[in-house]
Structure 1
Amino acid sequence: MYKLLIAEDVKTVRETLVRSIPWQSLGITLLGAVHNGEEALAWLDEEEPDLLLTDIGMPKMNGLELIEAAQARKPDIRCIILSGLNEFEYARQAIKLHVLDYVLKPIDPGEIEKVLARAVESLRKEREELKELAFAGQVSKDKLPHLSELLLPGDLSGNLKKKKLVEQAVRYVKEQYMRRELALSDVAAAVGLSDKYMNLLVKEVTGMTINHLIIGLRMEEAARLLKDPVNRIYEICERIGYTDQDHFRESFKKQFGLTPTEYRNQLL
């Protein structure tokens, strides 16, 4: 059974959803129906819902804010929007948050049932794929590859969709890490997620934040370039995206325990 939580501020709509949907036959356990986003987040501290059905226009915290906060706490949660707001901006934000579906009011219990049935089927397929991955016996969490080889760690916590998002983020960082202005916001925008959720997702799957990943790749490239005495240290600093040599020196020493000069002298 998959667990679902409803967040809807209109009492009549909330009660209709509770009474009119055949939850059991859909394979869903209804955890509860709350009337605002703050109450929904309180539930997330106690329960582990697989699905969140939420209105957008709620007091205290709107549905989109709730979804972003819920995903930050429970990255595996799947969200469905129920709203009377048929505006492009809301739909665009919903897509960015990877919402499963966007259902317009007035509600049609039959349509809601179909949407939920699709959501359950999607969750079922994801779990089956995860089982297949686990059975295949891929790389474990304590055997992550070298940063320069990192794309997608093998059998880590999370689901396939989450891993694919991280794969996109890591690929983008590997392509862009030598840009001076590269930041978390650039990576998040490239993948279509909020900064906070992108960082949480990458850290959960790889064990590193976006910033640590960028620095790690830069330091590995610096170490490679230092092996060739033709490359001057200030040139290496610029090539890997640093404008401040002191900052570069500190970052390199933190990574390798040696300054760039000490590292190069060790190779001679």
Structure 2
Amino acid sequence: MFKLLIAEDVKTVRETLARSIPWERLGIALIGAAENGEEALAWLDREAPDLLLTDIGMPKMNGLQLIEAFKARKPDIRCIILSGLNEFEHARQAIKLQVQEYILKPIDPGEIVRVFEQVVRELREERAARQGSADAAQRLREELPRLTETLSAGAGPGDFKKKKLVEQALRYLKEAYARKELALSEVAASVGLSDKYLNSLVKEVTGMTINQLIVRLRLEEAARLLKDPAIRIYEICDRIGYTDQDYFRETFKKQFGLTPTEYRNEYL
């Protein structure tokens, strides 16, 4: 189930939201109903929700401030505004904060059910995609160590030397892949071959080019480091040999189907 927190300062509305909506049937666990923004924000230290349903006009901290504070600490949270303040400025700020829906009072249970059915459907689809990316990461971790092991398997007299050269190049790659200046020419020089010949040799034996292997080694290490929240994403980018964070993000998403931030949130 996905966890929901409600923030609403009017007691009757708060109780109606808690009792009149079939949250469990929607696949949602209601973990709390706070009466102001500060109380709602304190929930993050106890049990972080996946969903936030909040009024705008609340004492101590209004709904928009609450959403901004939540997203600063949990960027992937889904936020839905429930308010009687039908004003353009509030709607514009809500769009800027990437609010999922803007529902106007008075409360319409049918409308709330419809909105949350859609949100839960999207969350389930994302969860399935993340599980698929986690499986892909596991396959990637298992595949790379096997490359070296399979090089000598089934080698005949004519290709044994080729496989040995590729094995030597792979060992060099595993030691040097995180260096920003690493180039194909350097790897080729380490085994005494031309760039073109080594690349074709590696492709013949492993099914991948040198550059593809470098990318896979870097992304494998990035996936491992992302599970440690103490390491900032820009530090990971630097550690694995990328100088452009945008390029790293695009490359990582192409491989895993998630941005580095999304991948990290899966393990927090």
Amino acid in the other structure paired with 1:54: T
Q: Which runs of 4+ in 1 moved over 6 A?
A: none
The higher radius of gyration belongs to 2
Partner of 2:60: 60
Partner secondary structure for residue 91 of structure 2: helix
Partner of 2:131: 131
Farther off after superposition, 50-59 or 89-98: 89-98
Q: What's the CA shift string for 1:225-262, capped at 9, x where partnerless?
A: xxxxxxxxxxxxxxxxxxxxxxxxxxxxxxxxxxxxxx
Structure 2 distance, partners of 1:74, 1:115, is 21
Farther off after superposition, 127-136 or 93-102: 127-136
Partner of 1:147: 243
Unmatched tracts of structure 2, length 5 or more? 141-218, 226-238
Contact 2:133 2:257 in 1 (8 A): no
Distance 1:51 1:28, change over 3 A: same
Structure 2 distance, partners of 1:57, 1:84, is 9
Contact 1:5 1:49 in 2 (8 A): yes
Structure 1 distance, partners of 2:124, 2:107, is 25
Partner of 1:253: none
User: CA RMSD for the aligned pairs?
Assistant: 2.6
* TM-score relative to the length of structure 2: 0.56
Structure 1 distance, partners of 2:6, 2:132, is 31
Partner of 1:5: 5
* Aligned residues between the structures: 165
Partner secondary structure for residue 48 of structure 1: coil
* TM-score relative to the length of structure 1: 0.56
Partner of 1:85: 85
Partner of 2:95: 95
Contact 1:127 1:159 in 2 (8 A): no
Give me the identity figure in percent: 63
Query: Matches of residues 87-236 of structure 1 in structure 2 within 5 Å?
Result: 87-137=87-137, 139-140=219-220, 141=222, 142=225, 144-148=240-244, 149-152=247-250, 154=252, 160=258, 163=259
Tell me by how many angstroms 1:26 deviates: 0.5
